[in-house]
A and B are shown apart, each in its own frame.
Chain A
């Protein structure tokens, strides 16, 4: 069994089939990209995986375990973290607080201990902070620790979101359009980081992306979607040469 498998998953909103029996599997240590025109159902698949939506049919398996029925707040604990297409950071909190929320799935302290702030809570807090500092170092965010998110530029927010996802020490990270809204230089940085996330941290990457040059540079395999259906899958070159994919993007 593969590391992560999507098995014939469908999502229906009334009469609209947003995702139509899509199947694919991701191997451990892979960078897997989903591409497709607007409205193809890419983000819907992400929302299905992070359990924000309930699938109409089909199943999801992570490390051999069926996660189709797992409640959304337990997905992070299993080792799946995500970012959002339209940044969903906690705006009125400092960057440090945002990253510490990323550690929430590893929180072990009880409410009564926290109210009294017992030494065990302090110890746990310092341990969380140490892990957060590793991520800050990894993504070069030292300058923004105490800054409010509301005051940070867009490009930095994008990186902070990746950082928050990494703070939960995931095994699989879902990146929803990591390069959208970034300039050429920032996109370059992002492509290096995505590869580093895989090689240095050993995290499997599943991403949705429109920027084909980024897709070509980093991905091992690509899946093309249109109208909720799989068009093609394979290496980036194979998928881009596929006649159905060309037709979907250019019209034929």
Chain B
């Protein structure tokens, strides 16, 4: 195990705490840059989705993980970003302009959602954000002059200063990677400065935060605005990646997927957004396999084990019926969320840290190292 001897305050401010980080993150960056040249177009496109989901994950971690304000309305922020991009592009405005414009507009809407949030907390805030998401969905369906309503809207290829960036090309991959890296850097910078600490203070004790001079209203609105702006940027990339957007793409289920990103990844650190995004994006190929490959495999396994061919055929039909049942995705999501909350409350990143510590402390790791401690009762909290 490495013990860093601290002689300078800069050592605590630095993002890469010691030379080991340079090696590991450098290696990660090298792999990410080499990826498009190594993998096929299907996997590359899945990774682009991982990047987009991870940007939203970072946004949610700022809002939910740091500030403690839950939101089930992030699909709506994504939609606002996507539609802003689609509309402005159709007006002949360049990508250089509408990309930041989408972030600013979504951020402004986020700030407006933040205001009612000042008086709401917990489950009530969740309901308010769901209501907001439904309103946005409805507006998108009705405001046909801008959004083309339920018909949906075609989004053309990005034109970056005369240079087209096709949605399945390498340039698009690097653009998404760049935006993700930028948002992670933004989140980490916030965390090591007064605003980020104010967010954490609001999450852990509003009363104390107030007495320490933190303007609750201002910081909650800031948190909503930053989170929404990041999601808006992800929305622009999402719109271009899909090349077609319509209101039914931005439903409650998408918001739930975003929440799952941070529950599965772990909401206490920015790493969680990326790990959670990888997990969520890989659920879809898994579901496809459940529908197509698993019944065939199961049936052939059953025949080799001596089952009669017609019984095996029936088994295959049953299995594929289960695999393609409506609502299976939602059910699996629900199961995954429950499992994670029960058995891995710190998410994949928490598990990563435990595994890392196991090797660092080997052979001294205790099973109880990460057991949650009993905290002292707070009887007289005036929230």
Residues of A near any B CB (own CB < 8 A):
43, 47, 50, 52, 71-77, 81-82, 84-93, 96-97, 100-105, 107, 109, 111, 114-117, 121-122, 125-126, 128-130, 150-151, 154, 164, 168
Contacts and interface: CB of A to CB of B under 8 A. Distances in A.
Given A97-B200, A109-B194, A117-B193, A88 B208 contact: yes
B375 A150 contact: yes
Residue among A73, A82, A115, A125 with the highest chain B CB neighbour number at 10 A? A73
B156 interface: no
Interface of B is mostly: helix
B209 interface: yes
B142 interface: no
B24 interface: no
B186 A115 contact: yes
Contact of B204 (A92, A105, A154): A92
Which 10 A-B pairs rank lowest in CB-CB distance, beginning with the nearest? Answer: A105-B213, A76-B213, A90-B204, A114-B193, A88-B208, A107-B194, A117-B189, A73-B215, A88-B205, A129-B9
B317 interface: no
B310 interface: no
B371 to A, nearest CB: 11
Contact of A168 (B213, B375, B381): B213
A43 B190 CA distance: 35
Residue among B201, B215, B377 with the highest chain A CB neighbour number at 10 A? B201
- Bin the interface of chain B by size: 35 or more
Contacts of B161: none
Contacts of A75: 211, 213
Nearest to A107: B194
A150 B13 contact: no
B379 interface: yes
Contacts of B208: 84, 88-90
Interface string B1-45: 000000001101100000000000000000000000000000000
Contacts of B186: 115
B195 interface: yes
Contacts of A93: 197, 200-201, 204
B193 A168 contact: no
A128 B12 CA distance: 13
Contacts of B234: none
B193 A109 contact: yes
A105 B215 CA distance: 10
B373 interface: yes
Given A73-B216, A122-B13, A129-B12, A82 B211 contact: yes
B193 A89 contact: no
Contacts of B268: 92
Nearest to B379: A86
B90 interface: no
B207 interface: yes
A122 B14 CA distance: 10
A127 B255 CA distance: 41
Given A90-B204, A97-B200, A111-B195, A104 B212 contact: yes
Contacts of A126: 9-10, 13
Nearest to B197: A101
29 contacts: A43-B380, A73-B216, A76-B212, A76-B213, A82-B211, A85-B380, A86-B377, A86-B381, A88-B378, A89-B205, A91-B205, A96-B12, A101-B209, A102-B212, A104-B201, A105-B212, A109-B193, A111-B195, A114-B190, A114-B193, A114-B195, A117-B192, A125-B192, A125-B193, A128-B194, A129-B12, A130-B9, A151-B373, A154-B376
